[in-house]
Amino acid sequence: MNTTPPELARLAFIISLVGLTGIAAPARADPSDEPIEEAQPGEEPTEETPQPEALPEEPPQIIGEAWRNGRAEVDVGQGWIGKLIPKGIKWLADRGIQFFAWWMISLQGNPFGGIDKAFRYSGLLDFGIDLDMETMAGLTGFWIHVSGSWASGKNLSTDVGTFAPVNAVYSGDSLRLFEMYLEERILNDRLSFRVGRLSIGWEYGLEYDFFTQYQSAAFRLNVFALDGNTPNFSVIPFANWGARVRWTPNEHWRVQASWMNGYPRDFSDDDKHGVDFSADPTKGSFFILEASYQWLPTKAQREAHPGGLPGRFTFGGYYDTGTYDNLDGSGGTDQVLGTAYVLLRQKVWEPETASDRGINVWSAFAWAGKQSIVPVPYFWSGGMVWTGPFPRLVEDTLALGFANSWFSRALADQNVETVLEAAYSFNVTTWLTITPDLQYIINPSGMRTIDDAFLAGVLIYLTF
């Protein structure tokens, strides 16, 4: 297997880092009780004790319980630094400042199959800051978000010869500005507006808590065909100019829509570093709309309906007005492409009512027109995510999945690529997750001339 000296150096550093023991979180002191007034000697206690005034009833918690917040990319205070200096993190959070950083590390190889046998390191460090302007300046519901990334390593997908990247970590070799946007939330966070440098892949076509259990880009984070068919469906760590509005009227429904600049489309190039701010929407614009409906999303609802299990149905689509080269190599071009998609997830078993543990199944389908310029007109994936398969462990997950990419008839030598994956993730601490992973890829890039490939590796997720 082909392994370069720089990769060996990175591997030695990563093994040393993971070998560090976790820093236990300091115990929290109990809040001091209010002093209790006692009757003085010779004084009879009063019969009537003043009752505290009833607090106004708060509206039901929607964002953060029924729906993922999506504002901060990691839980504040749960990372390595948060455990090391919790008072410092809290001091900043109390003043509206939330730093975050996480590092994904993929160590992966293909012992047989593919084009070449190799072992590769790839890494992605994401970091940034959220500023709560309501706390800092009294601007209700107003946030500022800025993030950056450092991508490093080599691309094992080129050795295997796949169309769907064998891991969602590799993003080139570059230091980049990632997202940079302003956000306003009103109506108890139910209505949200964002404008600036946005990454569509953070918010559309994903089941975050399920898809992040996998390593292959055929599953991880998004329905793969969405970004596989156009670069304007930007995924981490790439962003472009755009605006997004999201309406969450209740715990069951969520609707969101975005407009994104559609030209130029080379914002993912390493040499751009995320700071090429040019835009020309007259040469292309990207529009996307998505709606989600979920049932029994909260524990309170599940406890009120014993035997009921939560689920979610998401449907959406995008429309890209840009001009693209024909796939058949004729030198011609075609204009306008679109893709529609659906996502379904359903919990099918849990050991007890409203448990966080249990077995979930999911499936996704995407359909795209214009086979002259769309490489994957049909895509179907599905799988199982079993949270807490081993009760003795605090947090662990077993994920199985399959993904089929049917290629355009304009690509004469390509038919169907199938990805099979099994991954098991477990939390060593709140800031370290390790995911051993196996993949089997049938007809890489849909080509029978490339041998089926078997991959083995591990994904390491460090939260700072």
For position 68, which CATH number holds? 2.40.160.180
Q: Residue range 136-154: average pLDDT? A: 96
Position 248 pLDDT exceeds 80: yes
Position 20 pLDDT exceeds 80: no
Q: How many CB atoms lie within 10 A of CB 42?
A: 5
Give the percent of the chain with pLDDT over 70.
83
DSSP label at residue 444: G
Furthest CA-CA distance within the chain: 103
Backbone angles phi, psi at 88, to 5 degrees: -65, -40
Long-range contacts, 135-140 (Cβ 8 Å, 24+): 135/94, 135/95, 135/96, 136/95, 136/96, 136/97, 140/186
SS3 content of the chain, % helix, strand, coil (to 5): 15, 45, 45
Q: Which helix (H) or strand (E) holds 15?
A: helix 5-18
208 pLDDT band (50/70/90 cuts)? confident
HSE-CB at 405 with a 13 A cutoff on CA atoms is 31
In a domain? residue 396:
yes
Q: Could you report the per-residue pLDDT of 423-450, keeping only the tens digit for each?
A: 999 999 889 999 999 999 999 999 999 9
Q: Residue range 47-67: average pLDDT? A: 52
Q: Residue range 117-130: average pLDDT? A: 96
Contact between 152 and 122 (Cβ < 8 Å):
yes
**Which of 170, 167, 171 minimizes the C-alpha distance to 219?**
167
In the numeric block, which tokens belong to residue 377?
């007109």
Check residue 29 and give its pLDDT: 36
Check residue 65 and give its pLDDT: 60
Q: Could you report the per-residue pLDDT of 351-361, keeping only the tens digit for each?
A: 999 999 999 99
pTM of structure: 0.85
Check residue 64 and give its pLDDT: 59
In a domain? residue 273:
yes
76 pLDDT band (50/70/90 cuts)? low
Check residue 79 and give its pLDDT: 84
Q: What is the mean pLDDT of the chain?
A: 86
Burial 208-225, CB ≥16 within 10 A → b, else e: eebbbbbbbbbbbbbbbb
In the numeric block, which tokens belong to residue 227?
């970004």
Check residue 102 and give its pLDDT: 92
Check residue 57 and give its pLDDT: 43
Check residue 82 and give its pLDDT: 84
Regarding predicted confidence, which is higher, 399 or 74?
Answer: 399
Check residue 80 and give its pLDDT: 86
11 pLDDT band (50/70/90 cuts)? very low
State how many domains the chain has. 1
In a domain? residue 6:
no
In a domain? residue 437:
yes
Range of the domain at 81: 63-463
Q: Could you report the per-residue pLDDT of 35-56, keeping only the tens digit for each?
A: 434 444 444 444 444 444 444 4
Give the percent of the chain with pLDDT over 90.
70
Distances (CA, A) of 161 to 155, 284, 450: 10, 31, 7
266 pLDDT band (50/70/90 cuts)? confident
In a domain? residue 54:
no
Position 421 pLDDT exceeds 70: yes
Q: Residue range 446-464: average pLDDT? A: 96
Check residue 69 and give its pLDDT: 61
2 pLDDT band (50/70/90 cuts)? low
In a domain? residue 58:
no
Position 255 pLDDT exceeds 70: yes
Check residue 1 and give its pLDDT: 56
**Which of 416, 433, 428, 299 minimizes the C-alpha distance to 358?**
299
In a domain? residue 156:
yes
**Cα separation, 11 vs 187, whole angstroms:** 48
**Cα separation, 113 vs 328, whole angstroms:** 27
> Which stretch of 82-91, 114-123, 403-412 has the lowest confidence by average pLDDT?
82-91
Regarding predicted confidence, which is higher, 221 or 344?
Answer: 344
